């Protein structure tokens, strides 16, 4: 899929004066109220959250219900990159990009029914930690943590910041860096102060704002073009006045309203969209810390499943409120959004290859009434902040628990909490410094950039997790060398991809055959198969892991974990008078010290989530009971049935939509 360029300069038609003039007092009031409200919710949820422990800060105290989990999964995925990228790609190539949204529903159900039960039974906080329990050794855990952090910086953080800042710059005429820094500052404050509970509660609010704002714009847009039939007619005729002679780049695709496209010549070939994309989606939803962390914070397995189903229903909608509005934008403004002449495009948006990425901002500025325009800016800020808060939180979890604890084996809980917050600040700084790189490199193919990097680096991880959960014979050498082989092949393709740029309209395609003939979604499928073969070959050539060591760590053994035994007459259960007296003295002295703390120290400890009161110590019996509760995958029969029926209805709806738009 060749997606026209994202502008890195201001849009003459929408820039500085025009945007500022179009932005009324009502819009400014809406944006300000929105920011105040978001900060209030973030602070409120931080105050009532259990933030003083690693489990509390990083997993929301394992206390979340199904609806905030589902909303958080949805809003984490649909960031500002989706608003710019999905709408822009739809403007250029039609509805097929909506397959990226609907394809996510199968992996979401796999997350709730297959992956999360294994992760909960294994009692893990991060996914590299699961690999360590499953295979032993440290190199897998460190490799996957470092690779995940690289993927976050290259795909999620950089593209979301760039897309969000581009939207705000386009709409408000602000300086690109000023808008970015302001957003990142507000985002970082409540991520650092609140941990995952703040992230999940603000996600719920922002999902609501995103969906409502985008739906309003969708209805206004559909009314302008004459609803779906009118869109079909007007999109097919959306040709710019100035075209490149002897080419057909300016013509809308004949298959623009079909999801399933030619497997050889299609911009999104249907086997790639159905099978290749599923590989990348399995990594994204089932083996990626950012997403799985949401489900692991559930009260119990039924709530985790409910969150998956709810997120699945929410994923049905972006095709209607992001993809189709992108097509509406081309139908209404073909000269700007569908420009093909390099000189004209440069004049409109500063990029020679095309201006389809201005589709959504153009629609907001032109169609939204006063006040609602401010709401849509708030929606974009919500999308950006939601994605970033989730990635910042999950990145600090990975760094602290998988990398820092390797370096500092004796690190206290207090040290881990502070390091997590400092790492978040470092990520913010890296993100701001990375903006010029995203502006210059691949800025013309934002959605391609996000998806193709995922296709080059993620299939080996997806292959490893699937084999780890289902195949007993897979061992540590097989897993490690499989990942290494996949990483090398993926990196070679990625370096080639970004060494050759896609040809502009009318130019001959001089790229190597491996690039122009093998779509990145086909490559994801090939890489997945290659990695699986290497993992299995090396595993069968090396000693197997003893079966008793796999209890509670695989799909087949998840119920085998023996329940924690609480001793009745053991010495541990007998109170020790001397120990009790010692505990009382320590508690009294720590309370006395707490009373003497200066005000600035109390504020600092609250901000860092450190307990201001002494924390009670758990007896061995209490600790065993807590561990049993956190690793339990038991479900109440009636809720299990409700979840299963909801999932079947969701799958039926999804199949119907694929068939209808296929």
pLDDT of 597 reads 60
**Three-state secondary-structure class, residue 269:** strand
pLDDT of 443 reads 41
pLDDT of 438 reads 60
HSE-CB for 569 with a 13 A CA cutoff:
0
Could you give the CA distance from residue 365 to residue 172 in angstroms, rounded to a whole number?
Answer: 9
Q: Which residues of 171-194 are buried (b: 16+ CB within 10 A; e: fewer)?
A: bbbbebeebbeebbebbbebbbbb
**CA 565 to chain centroid:** 39
Q: Is 173 left (phi over 0), alpha (psi -120 to 50) or beta?
A: left
φ and ψ of 251, to 5 deg: -80, 135
Show the tokens assigned to 183: 């957003």
**Three-state secondary-structure class, residue 261:** strand
pLDDT of 211 reads 76
- Mean pLDDT taken over the chain: 75
Show the tokens assigned to 190: 């409540």
Burial of 248 (0-12, 13-18, 19+ CB in 10 A): exposed
**pLDDT, tens only, 491-517:** 888 888 777 766 666 667 777 877 778
pLDDT beneath 50: ranges in the chain: 1-21, 441-443, 562-594, 609-616
pLDDT of 8 reads 35
φ and ψ of 471, to 5 deg: -115, 115
**pLDDT, tens only, 72-84:** 788 777 766 777 8
Rounded to 10°, the helix 359-367/324-332 angle is 70
Alpha-carbon distance values, 57 to 178, 295, 618 (Å): 30, 15, 19
| Residues facing residue 269 across a β-bridge | 261
pLDDT of 603 reads 57
Rounded to 10°, the helix 277-286/446-457 angle is 80
């Amino acid at each position: 899929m060749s997606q026209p360029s994202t502008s890195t300069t201001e849009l003459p038609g929408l820039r500085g004066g025009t945007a500022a003039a179009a932005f009324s007092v009502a819009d400014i009031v809406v944006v300000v109220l929105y920011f105040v409200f978001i900060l209030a919710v973030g602070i409120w949820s931080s105050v009532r959250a259990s933030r003083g422990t690693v489990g509390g800060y990083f997993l929301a105290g394992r206390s979340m219900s199904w609806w905030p989990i589902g909303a958080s999964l949805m809003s984490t995925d649909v960031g500002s990159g989706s608003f710019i990228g999905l709408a822009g790609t739809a403007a250029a190539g039609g509805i097929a990009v909506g397959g990226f949204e609907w394809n996510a529903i199968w992996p979401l159900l796999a997350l709730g029914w297959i992956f999360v039960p294994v992760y909960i039974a294994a009692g893990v906080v991060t996914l590299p930690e699961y690999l360590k329990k499953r295979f032993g050794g440290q190199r897998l855990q460190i490799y996957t943590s470092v690779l995940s952090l690289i993927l976050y910086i290259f795909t999620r953080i950089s593209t979301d910041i760039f897309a969000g800042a581009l939207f705000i710059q386009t709409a408000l005429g602000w300086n690109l860096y000023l808008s970015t820094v302001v957003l990142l500052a507000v985002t970082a404050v409540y991520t650092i102060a609140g941990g995952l509970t703040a992230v999940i509660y603000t996600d719920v609010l922002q999902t609501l704002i995103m969906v409502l704002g985008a739906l309003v714009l969708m209805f206004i847009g559909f009314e302008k073009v004459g609803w779906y039939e009118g869109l079909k007619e007007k999109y097919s005729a959306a040709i710019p006045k100035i075209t490149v002679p002897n080419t057909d780049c300016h013509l809308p695709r004949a298959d623009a309203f079909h999801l399933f496209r030619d497997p050889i010549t299609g911009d999104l070939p249907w086997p790639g969209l159905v099978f290749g994309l599923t590989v990348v989606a399995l990594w994204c939803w089932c083996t990626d810390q950012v997403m799985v962390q949401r489900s692991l914070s559930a009260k119990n397995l039924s709530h985790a499943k409910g969150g998956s189903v709810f997120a699945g229903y929410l994923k049905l909608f972006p095709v209607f409120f992001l993809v189709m509005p992108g097509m509406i934008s081309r139908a209404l403004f073909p000269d700007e959004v569908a420009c093909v002449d390099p000189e004209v495009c440069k004049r409109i948006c500063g990029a020679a290859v095309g201006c389809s990425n201005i589709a959504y901002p153009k629609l907001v500025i032109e169609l939204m009434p006063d006040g609602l325009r401010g709401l849509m800016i708030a929606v974009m800020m919500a999308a950006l902040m939601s994605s970033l808060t989730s990635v910042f939180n999950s990145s600090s979890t990975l760094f602290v628990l998988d990398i820092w604890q390797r370096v500092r084996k004796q690190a206290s809980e207090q040290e881990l909490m502070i390091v997590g917050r400092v790492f978040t600040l470092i990520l913010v700084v890296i993100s701001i410094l990375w903006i010029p790189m995203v502006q210059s490199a691949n800025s013309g193919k934002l959605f391609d950039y996000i998806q193709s990097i995922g296709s080059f680096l993620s299939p080996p991880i997806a292959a490893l997790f699937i084999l780890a959960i289902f195949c007993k014979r897979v061992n540590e050498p097989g897993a490690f060398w499989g990942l290494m082989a996949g990483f090398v092949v993926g990196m070679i393709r990625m370096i080639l991809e970004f060494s050759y740029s896609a040809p502009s309209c009318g130019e001959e395609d001089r790229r190597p055959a491996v690039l122009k003939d093998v779509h990145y979604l086909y490559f994801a499928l090939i890489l997945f198969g290659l990695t699986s073969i290497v993992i299995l070959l090396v595993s069968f050539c090396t000693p197997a892991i003893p079966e008793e060591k796999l209890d509670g760590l695989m799909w087949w053994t998840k119920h085998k974990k023996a329940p924690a035994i609480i001793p009745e007459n053991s010495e541990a259960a007998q109170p020790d008078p001397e120990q009790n007296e010692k505990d009382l003295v320590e508690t009294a002295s720590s309370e006395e010290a707490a009373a003497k703390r200066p005000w600035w120290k109390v504020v600092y400890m609250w901000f860092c989530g450190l307990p201001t009161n002494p924390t009670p110590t758990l007896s061995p019996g209490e600790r065993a009971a807590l561990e049993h509760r956190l690793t339990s995958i038991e479900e109440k029969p009636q809720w299990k049935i409700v979840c299963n029926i909801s999932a079947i209805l969701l799958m039926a709806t999804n199949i119907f939509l694929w068939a209808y738009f296929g």
